[in-house]
């Protein structure tokens, strides 16, 4: 997640949608006054190597704390912090209603069946198989992506980029941000998948039905089909 105060944009980062690459690219237009959440060590090294702004201002102000935040602080001594795939309602709480309303908010969505197959090859146990993955914690983390860009069931992003048309979508993002030469997207988390078959060739009918059930909100919102 990134919030740029100077350029007034918020990137709502979903899973398995080139989000880390986009986040790193956006970092070049940020500074120490913005909010940038940490990413993995290798990806942070890539960002630092490019000379872009790293994680900064990711702690929630005490004025925004909810009961759960005070409880975590009292019991574990840990501040509430912004995170990679933070829910939209929490991003709004972090930046404040006025900044939220003024900012250009965008996100990236992807065909849910493709998302799951990508997640399986990235985080899944290929020895255990895809059906076991659909019962795993790593899979369940993917299912909550709709709340990254929805509040009370409504899409709150001003622009929803489809991963399937990522190039065109990012061109529109750069235009909205007034950026004429952003350069290519960095290749973060690349090269982790050896099986390049399309999701239709990987999933069984039963597996596809599980995904259709679990991602019903995204499928209805964006018209995706198997």
CATH of the domain at 76: 3.40.50
Look at residue 211 and tell me whether its pLDDT is greater than 80.
yes
Please return the burial class of 98, using the count of CB atoms within 10 Å of its CB with bins 0-12, 13-18 and 19+.
exposed
The region of weakest confidence among 7-16, 94-103, 118-127 is 118-127
What domain range includes position 129?
2-222
Count Cβ atoms below 10 Å from residue 120 Cβ, excluding itself.
27
| 190 pLDDT above the threshold of 70 | no
Residue 187: per-residue pLDDT:
85
Burial of 57 (0-12, 13-18, 19+ CB in 10 A): middle
The 10s digit of each residue's pLDDT in 104-156 is: 999 999 999 999 999 999 888 888 999 999 999 999 988 888 999 999 999 99
pLDDT digits (tens, 9 = 90+) for 16-26: 999 999 999 99
What is the spatial distance between Cα 57 and Cα 85, in angstroms, rounded to a whole number? 16
- The runs of H, that is alpha helices, within the chain are 19-27, 41-49, 67-76, 88-95, 97-102, 112-123, 130-133, 137-143, 146-149, 166-177, 199-202, 205-214, 216-222
At residue 196, the pLDDT reads 83
Q: Is the pLDDT of residue 194 over 80?
A: no
Work out the number of other CB atoms within 10 angstroms of the CB of residue 64. Answer: 14
> Is pLDDT larger for residue 122 or for residue 49?
49
Residue 191: band (very low, low, confident or very high) from pLDDT cuts 50, 70, 90:
low
> What local confidence, expressed as pLDDT, does residue 127 receive?
86
Average pLDDT over residues 171-194: 86
Distance from C-alpha of 158 to C-alpha of 102, rounded to nearest angstrom: 11
> How high is the pLDDT of residue 124?
85
| Pair 52, 32: CB distance under 8 Å | no
Q: In total, how many domains does the chain have?
A: 1
Predicted pLDDT of residue 154: 95
Question: Which residue intervals of 124-204 are DSSP H helices?
Answer: 130-133, 137-143, 146-149, 166-177, 199-202
List CB contacts of 148: < 8 A, sequence separation 6 or more.
12, 13, 14, 85, 86, 87, 88, 107
Average pLDDT over residues 188-211: 87
Residue 112 token pair? 């849910």
Q: Are 20 and 41 in contact (CB under 8 A)?
A: no
pTM for this model (two decimals): 0.92
Average pLDDT, the chain: 94
């Amino acid at each position: 997640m990134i919030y740029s105060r100077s350029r007034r944009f918020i990137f709502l980062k979903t899973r398995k949608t080139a989000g880390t690459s986009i986040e790193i690219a956006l970092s070049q237009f940020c500074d120490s006054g913005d909010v940038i959440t940490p990413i993995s060590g290798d990806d942070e090294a890539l960002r630092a190597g490019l000379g872009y702004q790293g994680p900064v201002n990711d702690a929630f102000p005490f004025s925004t704390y909810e009961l759960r935040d005070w409880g975590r602080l009292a019991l574990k001594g840990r501040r509430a912090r912004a995170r990679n795939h933070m829910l939209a309602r929490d991003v709004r709480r972090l930046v404040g209603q006025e900044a939220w309303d003024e900012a250009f908010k965008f996100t990236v969505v992807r065909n849910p069946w493709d998302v799951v197959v990508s997640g399986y090859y990235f985080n899944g146990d290929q020895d255990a198989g895809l059906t076991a993955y659909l019962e795993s914690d790593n899979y369940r983390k993917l299912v909550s992506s709709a709340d990254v860009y929805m509040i009370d069931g409504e899409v709150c992003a001003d622009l929803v980029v489809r991963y399937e048309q990522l190039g065109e979508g990012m061109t529109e993002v750069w235009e909205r941000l007034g950026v004429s030469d952003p350069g290519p997207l960095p290749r973060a988390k690349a090269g982790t998948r050896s099986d390049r078959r399309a999701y239709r060739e990987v999933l069984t009918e039963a597996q596809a039905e599980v995904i259709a059930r679990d991602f019903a909100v995204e499928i209805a919102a964006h018209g995706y089909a198997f």
